[in-house]
Structure 1
Amino acid sequence: MFAIPGDLSTVTGGYLYERRLLEGLREIGTDTAHLPLGSSFPDPSPDDSAHAVAAMEALDPAHPLIVDGLVFGSLATAGLARARAPIVAMIHHPLAHEAGLSDARREYLIRTERDNLALARAVIVPSPFTARILIDEYGTDPARITVARPGTDRVDDVVPGIVSAGPALIVSVGIQHPRKGHDVLLRALAELSDLPWTAVIVGSAYDPVHAAELATLHTELRLEGRVRFAGIVSVAERDELYRLASVFALATRYEGYGLVFDEALAHGLPVVSCRVGAVPETVRPDAGVLVSPDDPLAFADALRAVLTDDTLRIRMAHAAAEAGSTLPGWLDTARTAQAVLDALA
């Protein structure tokens, strides 16, 4: 059983990971059912909390229960403890590491997640970076943690480093949320008005308040006609943008993994991003330029170097394509998770 809150088709990295993991487990023969929970997690309403506790308590104790991190990290420990099935925590990144939290909210999440981790028989994380946080900050036993790196769909006919006849296309993929740093990207792009480029930012207005702030900043910086917020696009549209792009850019403030980096590498795109979270472990040095977070000028300098030096960009593109060709597939992710479940069954 896989307990996941809200709409499983939500377009974020975490939901994509769990949807593909659920599909992959079924494909390799692991009978895995989806236990839908309320959409208010990780700030659950009383009704959603009560429903989650009752639903988990009713499950057969003979079969492991995977619990999504939005639920696992925020559900009261007394409620989670009522589940009789062996619990597998699916932690993309600790909830207390999210941006914009009040001190009181952060302290609550740290305490709750630490206490809940003590109840988990096993923990699945997407990266060694997240594993280290759980060990160092939450005291989790390393023997209970398994890294199941996200899969990547194979991309055929990648031709890295094509020189565009027109303005270079910069692609960024990430929900409109403060953690993704699109405000930093916009300020960086405003510093490059002397260069020929256009940019597309793909991702839902996940945080409506922040999305409105980004729209205002977009106007203030006079980026109309050069930067487009595309919102949610189809997989085919996203892949076409990757195919046409010269560089992938995401000024993220934190990543527990970052599926979009693997997508960019699989398409042979040089990456410009930030030295935060799991990014340095995901993007190898010869395939990307990483700068400090919250530094628009440094981000602009990195983009300028990639956009104006064809030799550098082509070399990075070939390194990206090489790295992308070695990435695991989603069935590899599922087999890693299956081994965890088999050990508990």
Structure 2
Amino acid sequence: MNRAHARAVHFVMPGGVDDAAAPSGGNVYDRRVCQDLPGVGWHVHEHAVAGTWPRPGAAARAELSRVLAEAEDGGVVLLDGLVACAVPDIVAREAQRLRLAVLVHLPLGDETGLAPARAADLDALERETLRAVPAVVATSDWAARRLVAHHGLASGRVHVAAPGADIAPSAPGTDGASRLLCVASVTPRKGQYRLVKALAAVADLPWTCVCVGGLDQDPGYVAGLRELIEEASLGDRVHLVGPRAGAELAAAYAAADLMVLTSYAETYGMAVTEALAHGIPVLATAVGGLPEALGRAPDGSVPGLLVPSEDPAALPTALRRWFREPALRHRLKEAARERRTALDGWGTTARNLAGALEHLRSEPRRAA
């Protein structure tokens, strides 16, 4: 591996990070920091390890072991949590020789739909991994606080590099109210079942909803969601269109009047800031880092509505308010346009991550 560059990082990512058929916020984040770290003085050596989630098999373990073994003594290595958090034995083995940091997009045990025993097992493995490394990178302030409290980490070892956003043209929308957009992989954690149930409860209102996101991660969940849509007689109003990128995704945002995100768990919620980057207000569940992603406009106004996750009546109530209160719509749209101008870009993400890596690079090596 190249030893010539003074500031170099080996970034070990899951396989398929560039798979357009299975987009995710984590993949976008990983790709963008690879592109932007060189601009703040860090050369990136990319490594992809396939088959790591939820528990790596023998081939993935061997590949990760090989990548780490080939890194130069004292080298800085950034490990995506999906690669590292379930293999504390491999990580701990190299923690004395290398300067390791783990990037946590979502704590492993927080994935919705896991059996309790599996979630507890993954949680314990993650704790062992994170305690073995000198640095952890979280993608929101909320996530950093949670990792410190939940895994008993020293706060000084946990750094924050929140996702950035690319400011886009303001979305003209459809008619100012009726086009709802949900951008999220169709999985239990993203909560599309409860979104459809909320939409069924307001079927008397004039809406259509386009759900953009991968359909391959949980086929059973997708099949059940399609059945629910048909049972609610919403087949002509709720559209599961699969993943979108580039011009197709931009067109979906351009037509949207309101972003809806009904997740059960999120460390940040890049879809929220992507919507705000188009000046689109957001209706979301108040979980994890979503309130942080929604944020406030410079004048203090909130560019959307947050509803309690545990209250099934809150979503339909908020949707009715959106349609029945023109003054509310106007206020939220104004706040979204103002928030759009104040969003941090990916350059800020790269600088924050570079700061964490520089701190790691300058620390004394751990004694063997």
**TM-score for both structures, normalised by structure 2:** 0.88
| Counterparts of 1:262 and 1:229, CA distance in 2 | 21
What letter matches 1:71 in structure 2? V
Partner residue of 1:330? Answer: 346
Distance 1:150 1:286, change over 3 A: same
Cα deviation, 1:208-232, whole Å, max 9, x if unaligned, reads 1111111111111111111111101
| Counterparts of 1:317 and 1:236, CA distance in 2 | 23
Partner residue of 1:263? Answer: 274
Secondary structure of 2:137's counterpart equals strand
Partner residue of 1:61? Answer: 73
Partner residue of 2:262? Answer: 251
Partner residue of 1:198? Answer: 208
8 Å contact from structure 2 (residues 166, 345) kept in 1: yes
Partner residue of 1:226? Answer: 237
Q: Give, in angstroms, the shift of residue 63 of structure 1.
A: 2.0
Partner residue of 1:12? Answer: 24
Secondary structure of 2:65's counterpart equals helix
Secondary structure of 1:32's counterpart equals strand
What letter matches 1:199 in structure 2? C
Secondary structure of 2:28's counterpart equals helix
CA RMSD of aligned residues (A): 1.7
Query: How is 1:1-345 mapped onto 2 (pairs within 5 angstroms)?
Result: 1-10=10-19, 11-75=23-87, 77-83=88-94, 84-156=97-169, 158=170, 164=175, 168-205=178-215, 206-284=217-295, 286-293=302-309, 295-345=311-361
8 Å contact from structure 1 (residues 184, 295) kept in 2: no
Secondary structure of 2:44's counterpart equals coil
8 Å contact from structure 2 (residues 76, 98) kept in 1: yes
The alignment of Structure 1 onto Structure 2 pairs a total of residues equal to: 341
| Counterparts of 2:263 and 2:130, CA distance in 1 | 27
Cα deviation, 1:74-108, whole Å, max 9, x if unaligned, reads 11x22112223211110112111111222221222
Distance 1:115 1:313, change over 3 A: same
Structure 1: segments with no counterpart, 5+ residues: none
Q: Give, in angstroms, the shift of residue 27 of structure 1.
A: 3.5
Cα deviation, 1:235-271, whole Å, max 9, x if unaligned, reads 2222222222111101111101100000111111121
8 Å contact from structure 1 (residues 170, 246) kept in 2: yes
Cα deviation, 1:145-190, whole Å, max 9, x if unaligned, reads 111110100123x267x6718x710000000100000011111111
What letter matches 2:308 in structure 1? S
Segment drifting more, 51-60 vs 145-154:
51-60
Q: Give, in angstroms, the shift of residue 325 of structure 1.
A: 1.4
Cα deviation, 1:10-64, whole Å, max 9, x if unaligned, reads 4101111111111111343411011110224232112211221222122112321
Secondary structure of 1:153's counterpart equals coil
8 Å contact from structure 1 (residues 42, 73) kept in 2: no
| Counterparts of 2:136 and 2:293, CA distance in 1 | 20
8 Å contact from structure 2 (residues 254, 278) kept in 1: yes
| Counterparts of 1:336 and 1:26, CA distance in 2 | 13
| Counterparts of 2:59 and 2:174, CA distance in 1 | 55
Structure 2: segments with no counterpart, 5+ residues: 1-9, 296-300, 362-368
| Counterparts of 2:29 and 2:68, CA distance in 1 | 22
| Counterparts of 1:184 and 1:258, CA distance in 2 | 18
Cα deviation, 1:110-164, whole Å, max 9, x if unaligned, reads 22111111221211111011111111110111111111110100123x267x671
| Counterparts of 1:78 and 1:89, CA distance in 2 | 14
